[in-house]
A and B are shown apart, each in its own frame.
Chain A
Amino acid sequence: MSSMIVFLVLYTILIVFDLIPVFKKKDKKALWFSVPVYLITLTVNIMTSFGVDMMSPNKIISQIISSIFH
């Protein structure tokens, strides 16, 4: 729960000081990239703060490397 609050505060700060200025500048390319990244990362962070087990990229890389070398 405390982790979720931390993430909400972090995203609020970043939205106010980063995303809203991008909206105001009407930089469509940056918006098309930023908004999905904000949404996806916020979802993943909230899920991990609730204890949902996410697949670590390191585990995927380890599996790929061990499949190549063994």
Chain B
Amino acid sequence: MNPKITEKQIQATIIMFWLGSLVVIGIDPQSKQDSWVASLLAGIMILPLLFLYIRLTSLYPGKNLFEILIQIFGRVFGRILIFIYVFFSIHLGGIILKVFSTFVHILNMPETPEPAILFFIILLSVWTVKSGPENIGRMSKYTFPIIVVSVAATFMAGAKDMDIGNLKPIMNTDLKTLLGSAFSLCVLPLGEAFLCLSFFSSLDPQAKPYRFFFKALIWTLAIVIVVNLRNILILGFPSATMFYFPSYETVGIISIGDFFSRAEVLIGINLMLAGFIKVAVCLYSSSLGLAKLLDAADQKFYVVPCALLMVTLAGILYENTVEWVEWIPVYEIYAIPFQIIFPIIILIGAEIKARIHPETKNPPAANKEAGGS
């Protein structure tokens, strides 16, 4: 019997996947000191998409995203959509790899060439993905508490440096700007969780999607709001928006006496852990999709080619950090079809299919080997 991903593991994987981008994104300069309110609004805005994922998985239990696509749209249109999502996974993986190699290169190892940093991240990701999706789930489950503890510890340790006045004036941002910031947060990264549906063929049948999706959302929002508040309370606005990695700068200020200082290494660890899980999820999703696209029996043979495409993309995506920051607003538009439009089309297709052919609803999970589980 294949090992299954438990509910706790998939919950941790989704949280780490979301945090993989959220820990990098700084405070939105538009919503200023109210960015924590924008995070809360983003949590509400993402709910319809979460209901969409839950409905889709309830219509096709035991199937992953790519099996669902073939089941709904047939071999031709299904494969076109699979190709689109494989491309998106590889591109997203390349972006994340580039962000994390830039982070390490700028802040920790300016003399080390970026390909050397990519080298270690991608080799570890390949190894993890080749070990099976349940391995990604297990790693997420054990690394997630590290993030929680480090965020809580840095918040408490930074209490003496906090100025409550930095939060004022509260709710001074107009609703339109707040909604714009919340939408940005929805697209980058909350909506990217659609790729996590790739894991659903390896999911324990006892796992309840509504339960782990909502728990993951609550945990993620709690962490993001605490991080946002910590950064604003310590750095204040506009200082917090001046840095590419504000958490790193914030925690760099924190010290307790002479014995606890330079705690920013914790932020580096958080970034690497969450980023590594996110790259692994993208790699798993792309290799699984590619195996389905080529009708291959074993997904593991496609992990390294996908990883090589990600590394190559990461090398040519941006020339400098300014280009990366300028790309974020473009990404918010670019990601809409992958995260909102196509999932809605897929759900409509699934609903129509379920009504026309009720016997195809809840079909038994088949072809598990091709599913890579």
Chain B residues near A30: list those with CB within 8 A: 296, 298, 301-302
> Roughly how many angstroms separate A3 CA and B96 CA in the complex, as a whole number?
20
Q: Indicate whether B107 reaches chain A with its CB closer than 8 angstroms.
A: no
Q: Is the CB of A49 within 8 A of B313?
A: no
Q: Is the CB of A56 within 8 A of B305?
A: no
Chain B: residues with Cβ within 8 Å of the partner, total of: 34
**Residues of A30-67 whose CB lies within 8 A of B:** 30, 33-34, 37-38, 40-41, 44-45, 48-49, 54-58, 61-62, 65
Q: Is the CB of B294 within 8 A of A29?
A: yes
Lowest 5 CB-CB distances: which A-B pairs, in order?
A30-B301, A37-B305, A41-B308, A41-B312, A18-B304
Contact of B312 among A3, A27, A45 (CB under 8 A): A45
Contact of A3 among B113, B318, B323 (CB under 8 A): B113
Q: Which residues on A are within 8 Å of B, measured CB to CB?
A: 2-3, 6-7, 9-10, 13-14, 18-19, 22, 25, 27, 29-30, 33-34, 37-38, 40-41, 44-45, 48-49, 54-58, 61-62, 65, 69
Q: Is the CB of B119 within 8 A of A57?
A: no
Given contact pairs A7-B115, A10-B123, A56-B317, A61 touches B330 in the complex (Cβ within 8 A): yes
Q: Is the CB of B294 within 8 A of A33?
A: yes
Given pairs A14-B304, A37-B308, A56-B319, 4 additional interface contacts (CB within 8 A): A18-B304, A56-B318, A58-B318, A61-B330
A61 to B, closest residue via Cβ: B334
B312 to A, closest residue via Cβ: A41
**Residues of B64-118 whose CB lies within 8 A of A:** 91, 113-116
Q: Indicate whether B256 reaches chain A with its CB closer than 8 angstroms.
A: no
Q: Is the CB of B119 within 8 A of A9?
A: yes
Chain A residues near B296: list those with CB within 8 A: 27, 29-30
Report whether over half of chain A's contact residues are helix, strand or loop; otherwise say mixed.
Answer: helix
Q: Is the CB of A37 within 8 A of B309?
A: yes
**Mask: chain B, 311-345; 1 = CB below 8 Å from A; 0 = not:** 11101111100010001001001100000000000
A31 to B, closest residue via Cβ: B301
A-B contact count (CB 8 A): 89
Contact of A2 among B113, B305, B317, B319 (CB under 8 A): B113
Chain B residues near A37: list those with CB within 8 A: 305, 308-309
Chain B residues near A45: list those with CB within 8 A: 115, 311-312, 315
> Roughly how many angstroms separate A49 CA and B316 CA in the complex, as a whole number?
10
Chain A residues near B327: list those with CB within 8 A: 58, 62
> Roughly how many angstroms separate A62 CA and B333 CA in the complex, as a whole number?
10
> Roughly how many angstroms separate A49 CA and B115 CA in the complex, as a whole number?
9
Offer 11 A-B interface pairs, CB within 8 angstroms, sorted by A.
A3-B113, A19-B304, A27-B296, A29-B295, A34-B304, A37-B305, A40-B312, A41-B308, A41-B309, A44-B312, A56-B317
B326 to chain A, nearest CB (A): 8
> Roughly how many angstroms separate A50 CA and B134 CA in the complex, as a whole number?
40
Chain A residues near B316: list those with CB within 8 A: 44, 48, 54-57
B308 to A, closest residue via Cβ: A41
A52 to B, closest residue via Cβ: B316
**Mask: chain B, 272-315; 1 = CB below 8 Å from A; 0 = not:** 00000000000000000010001110100111110011011101
A4 to B, closest residue via Cβ: B115
Given contact pairs A58-B330, A65-B330, A65-B333, A6 touches B119 in the complex (Cβ within 8 A): yes
A9 to B, closest residue via Cβ: B119
> Roughly how many angstroms separate A61 CA and B318 CA in the complex, as a whole number?
13
> Roughly how many angstroms separate A49 CA and B295 CA in the complex, as a whole number?
35
B104 to chain A, nearest CB (A): 14
A31 to chain B, nearest CB (A): 9
Contact of B308 among A14, A54, A57 (CB under 8 A): A14
> Roughly how many angstroms separate A29 CA and B370 CA in the complex, as a whole number?
14
Chain B residues near A13: list those with CB within 8 A: 123
